[in-house]
Amino acid sequence: MRALTRRAIPTQARSAVTVEKILSAATSVLTERGLQGLNTNAVAESAQINVATLYHYFPDKVAILAELFIRDQARRSEYLVARFNELPDVVDIDTWTTNLINSIMDLRRASPETIVLRQACRTVPELLAIEESDTAQISDILARALRLRFPSITSSRAGFAARALIESGAVMLDRASIDEDSSSGLIREVIAMITAYLERLDRSN
């Protein structure tokens, strides 16, 4: 798989502004037209720049998508890391889980492009690879937190548990994000599922 690198890294304020214009324009195109409507010409037109200027920084639309996806993931990952680091000392698992899931959904709703980017990562191999790397890192952090809270479980089980919690939770929240009619019910069940699993680990510890 090819490396997703920019052709040029902005070193001056003017160049940085241009890159941000490109990414802002891409976000607008993505949310208004969807993944199928995203192309470099549309982004350049929306950013009011020459397409050659866009190509100076990004080789193609996938590189733009990757940049948007990384930024979008980073916002939620930063929040997750902070919450996972609290887990060893949490007293009320149900409240902790409820706040965690509701806050993650709030972060998703605050960025309209998130839904499209999450859908894109299932069909664009480069984005799927980015998500896999991010999931592995977040899983390691959660696994360490699980080991601290539940010292009787093995490191192997903590790793599997962390991966299962993160991946199953992400799939269900993806569904909740695109299915407004079922959103509240799905979120409620995700909270119940994670709470029950962690409380079971608590009882067996």
Supply the mean pLDDT for the chain.
91
The answer to whether residues 96 and 34 belong to one domain is no
The answer to whether residues 82 and 125 belong to one domain is yes
Model confidence band, residue 3 (pLDDT cutoffs 50, 70, 90): very low
Decide if 197 is inside a domain: yes
Q: Which residue has the higher pLDDT, 52 or 181?
A: 52
C-alpha neighbours within 13 Å on the C-beta side of residue 101? 29
Decide if 98 is inside a domain: yes
Q: Which residue has the higher pLDDT, 109 or 13?
A: 109
The pTM of the full predicted model, rounded to 2 decimals, is 0.86
**pLDDT per residue over 102-153, tens digit each?**
999 999 999 889 999 998 988 899 899 999 999 999 999 999 999 999 999 9
User: What pLDDT was estimated at residue 203?
Assistant: 76
User: What pLDDT was estimated at residue 5?
Assistant: 54
Here the contacts of 70-74 (C-beta below 8 Å, separation 24 or greater) are: 70/130, 71/23, 72/111, 72/113, 72/114, 72/117, 73/130, 73/131, 73/134
The answer to whether residues 165 and 187 belong to one domain is yes
User: What pLDDT was estimated at residue 54?
Assistant: 95
The answer to whether residues 34 and 88 belong to one domain is no
User: What pLDDT was estimated at residue 1?
Assistant: 42
Whole domain around residue 121: which residue ranges?
Answer: 65-204
Decide if 87 is inside a domain: yes
The answer to whether residues 55 and 77 belong to one domain is no
Residue that finishes a domain, picked among 21, 36, 59? 59
Model confidence band, residue 85 (pLDDT cutoffs 50, 70, 90): very high
Q: The domain spanning residue 45 has which CATH number?
A: 1.10.10.60
How many domains is the chain built from? 2
